[in-house]
Amino acid sequence: MKNLIKSIYLLNILVGIIFSPNLFAQEQFNYDESKVPDLVLPDPFVSAKGEIIKTVDEWESIRRPELIRLFAENVYGGIPRDFDEIHFNVSTDSDHLYKEVAMKKNVTIRVTRNGKAQAIKLFVFLPLEGKGPHPVFLLISHRNVQALLDDKEDRFFPIAQIVEKGYAAAIFDVVDVSPDDKERFTNGILESLYPEELKNSGGMRGLAAWAWGAMRAMDYFESENAIDHKRAAIVGHSRGGKAALWAGANDKRWAVVISNESGCGGAALSRRRFGETVKRINTSFPYWFNDNFKAYNDNEDALPIDQHLLAACIAPRSIYIASAIEDQWADPKGEFLSLKLGSRVYSEIYGIKVDLPEIFENHQRTIHTKSVGYHLREGKHNLTLYDWERFMDFVEKEFLLAR
Ligand code: GTR
């Protein structure tokens, strides 16, 4: 009898596991354009109080600061500006793979606040050819930077190609600022420099911390004579692209902001719910965004912003959005639409003639217009030499025009 009860009990557990909702309730993601809801998006030109925004002054004094605040409160958390000291320890490194074309500087950026310190390693490659100061590309890397620097075949960060075009190439690993990990993300500036952010449901989390790191790299560029910090481009791929957009929106020192396949929480419109959704990203990567963002799980229409307004906050500086056809998870169409709608601020507020097509076309194409760059390439989710070549073409034109 005892054995029978035991068997029934075990059978119950087994049936419970097999039919558990967790095992079968796989969330469905939409890849069908006909199922995308009709979009009603927040208007760039109407403030929260209902003021009509028409002039540069109204944009810059009312709407733009309001949007930055709304993104900070509801999505990323703000990027703290205060610290006590910043110090750059620079050494020239002659032991590297790009000796023929570049000089390598290893920079340790040391930031202190309230008696605590954080060190970030920044690697800078300066062209040997040509007279400086050189314009610079900074890549926010969530891939292991040492591994990238040790692999000459890798084109995620194509140092030789960047430097040969006359640019400085700089990179840091997000692990030095906030590790890209659900458990360990506080193990950086969130514990050392800004612990109060964690107590705030609208405070900084991983992505904003990475953006903060990029801003400290810019502080270094400002101090480096070989770099033309007024001609600096910030680049991020995917999660790094989300951080690049947030850094670029907040910090006007970036002349060019480049987001590669940044998708949900980056360039893609959240309300489309195509591919990755707000709920899914908040479930898989809760430490990227602040706690307030979780309120928009399955509730995107309640967001006071959408991602086209992040693109708009970068105006009139240059913005570049890139997508890949097979990267449907990141919603290439939603990325294009963000740029198209966000670029209205370039044309309608700043009078910059942006010439993006009216409709998204799902084939490989590059569109470079004044201040706004875009490409869609064939292939999968990745940052490739093809992408970098398009970025460099665009940046070259932008900087020539700006001279
Ligand atoms: C995915 C994530 C995306 C994107 C990507 C990446 O797993 O869902 O939002 O950030 O990672 O960073 O490569």
Per-residue confidence in pLDDT tens, the chain, 403 aa: 555 555 555 555 454 444 444 444 567 899 999 999 999 999 999 999 999 999 999 999 999 999 999 999 999 999 999 999 999 999 999 999 999 999 999 999 999 999 999 999 999 999 999 999 999 999 999 999 999 999 999 999 999 999 999 999 999 999 999 999 999 999 999 999 999 999 999 999 999 999 999 999 999 999 999 999 999 999 999 999 999 999 999 999 999 999 999 999 999 999 999 999 999 999 999 999 999 999 999 999 999 999 999 999 999 999 999 999 999 999 999 999 999 999 999 999 999 999 899 999 999 999 999 999 999 999 999 999 999 999 999 999 998 766 5
Instruction: Select which of 134, 141, 142, 238 is catalytic.
Output: 238
Query: Could you give the CA distance from residue 208 to residue 47 in angstroms, rounded to a whole number?
Result: 24
The predicted pLDDT at position 27 comes to: 74
**Whole-Å CA distances, 388 to 169, 219, 266, 267, 315:** 12, 24, 19, 18, 22
* Residues forming beta bridges with residue 261, ordered by sequence position: none
- Is residue 52 situated within a structural domain? yes
- In this structure, which residue's CA is closest to atom 8 in ligand 1? 281
CA of 238 relative to ligand 1 center, distance in Å: 6
Ligand 1 atom at shortest distance from the alpha carbon of 265: 9
Q: Give residue 152 CA to ligand 1 midpoint distance, Å.
A: 25
Residue 313 lies in a domain: yes
Mutation test of ligand 1: which of 141, 142, 207, 239 has the most ligand atoms closer than 8 Å to its C-beta?
239
In terms of domains, do 137 and 238 share one?
yes
Nearest to 381 by CA among 301, 308, 309, 275: 275
The answer to whether residue 292 sits within a structural domain is yes
For residues 193 and 172, give the distance between their C-alpha atoms in angstroms, rounded to a whole number: 18
Whose tokens are 């557990």? That residue is 13
Residue 68 near residue 81, CB atoms below 8 Å: no
CA of 382: how far to CAs of 67, 118, 154, 386, in Å?
A: 30, 30, 12, 10
Contacting residues for 122 by C-beta, under 8 A, at least 6 apart:
106, 107, 108, 109, 170, 171, 172, 217, 220
Residue of the nearest CA to atom 6 in ligand 1? 238
Question: Cα of 22 to ligand 1 centre, how many Å?
Answer: 22
Q: Which atom of ligand 1 is nearest to the CA of 280?
A: 8
**Ligand 1: which of 182, 329, 335, 383 to mutate, most ligand atoms within 8 Å of CB?**
329
Q: How many CB atoms lie within 10 A of CB 354?
A: 21
Is the shortest distance between the CB of 281 and ligand 1 below 6 Å? yes
**Based on the domain organization, do 128 and 16 belong to the same domain?**
no
- Ligand 1 neighbour 243 (Cβ under 6 A): no
Q: Which pLDDT score, from 0 to 100, does residue 198 have?
A: 98
Q: Residue 108 Cα, ligand 1 centroid: separation in angstroms?
A: 28
Question: How many distinct structural domains can be found in the chain?
Answer: 2
Structural domain of 24: 1-30
| CA nearest neighbour of 178 among 294, 314, 289 | 289
Residues 19 and 155 in one domain: no
Selection from 291, 232, 306 nearest residue 73 by Cα: 291
Q: Looking at the domain assignment, is residue 253 inside a domain?
A: yes
- Assess whether 11 and 59 both reside in one domain: no
pLDDT at res. 400: 78
Q: pTM for this one? A: 0.94
Same domain as 348, residue 262: yes
Question: Which pLDDT score is estimated for 16?
Answer: 44
Three-state SS for the chain is CHHHHHHHHHHHHHHHHHCCHHHHCCCCCECCHHHCCCCCCCCCCECCCCCECCCHHHHHHHHHHHHHHHHHHHHHCCCCCCCCEEEEEEEEECCCCCCCCEEEEEEEEEEEECCEEEEEEEEEEEECCCCCCEEEEEEEECCCHHHHHHCCCCCCCCHHHHHHCCCEEEEEEHHHCCCCCCCCCCCCHHHHCCHHHHHCCCCCCHHHHHHHHHHHHHHHHHHCCCEEEEEEEEEEECHHHHHHHHHHHHCCCCCEEEEECCCCCCCCCHHHCECCCHHHHHHHCCCCCCHHHHHHCCCHHHCCCCCHHHHHHHCCCEEEEEEECCCHHHCHHHHHHHHHHHCHHHHHCCCCCCCCCCCCCCCCEEEEECCEEEEEECCCCCCCHHHHHHHHHHHHHHHHHHC
- Assess if residue 37 is contained within a domain: no
From 27, 76, 238, the mutation candidate for ligand 1 (largest count of ligand atoms within 8 A of CB) is: 238
Q: Does 381 participate in catalysis according to the annotation?
A: yes
Are 48 and 16 in a shared domain? no
Predicted local distance difference test score (pLDDT) of residue 110: 98
Query: How far, in Å, is the centroid of ligand 1 from the Cα of 385?
Result: 20
In terms of domains, do 75 and 3 share one?
A: no
Q: Give the model's pLDDT for residue 23.
A: 45
Which pLDDT score is estimated for 185?
A: 98
Ligand 1 touching residue 239 (CB < 6 A): yes
90 assigned to some structural domain: yes
Residue 4 shares a structural domain with residue 126: no
Same domain membership, residue 104 and residue 26: no
Q: Whose CA is nearest to atom 13 of ligand 1?
A: 238
Residue 264 CB less than 6 A away from ligand 1 = yes
Say if 35 falls within a structural domain. no
Instruction: Please indicate whether residue 238 is annotated as part of the active site.
Output: yes
- The count of C-alpha atoms lying within 13 angstroms of the C-alpha of 237, restricted to the half-sphere facing its C-beta, is 20
Q: Are residues 147 and 206 located together in one domain of the fold?
A: yes
Contact yes or no for 289/71 (Cβ under 8 A): no
Same domain for 259 and 222: yes
- Tokens 């075949």 found at: 153
For ligand 1, what atom is nearest to the CA of residue 266? Answer: 9
Is any atom of ligand 1 closer than 6 Å to the C-beta of 266?
Answer: no
Question: In angstroms, what is the span from residue 239 Cα to ligand 1's centroid?
Answer: 6
Report the CATH number at residue 229. Answer: 3.40.50.1820
- Cα–ligand 1 centroid distance for 261 (angstroms): 9
From the candidates 47, 96, 347, 381, give the one annotated as an active-site residue: 381
Ligand 1 atom closest to the CA of 381, numbered from 1: 13
Q: Does the residue 92 lie in any domain?
A: yes
Q: What amino acid is encoded at 361 in this protein? A: E
- Report the separation in Å between the CA atom of 113 and the middle of ligand 1, taken as the mean of its atom positions: 32
Q: Does residue 23 sit in the same domain as residue 96?
A: no
The letter for the amino acid at 201 is S
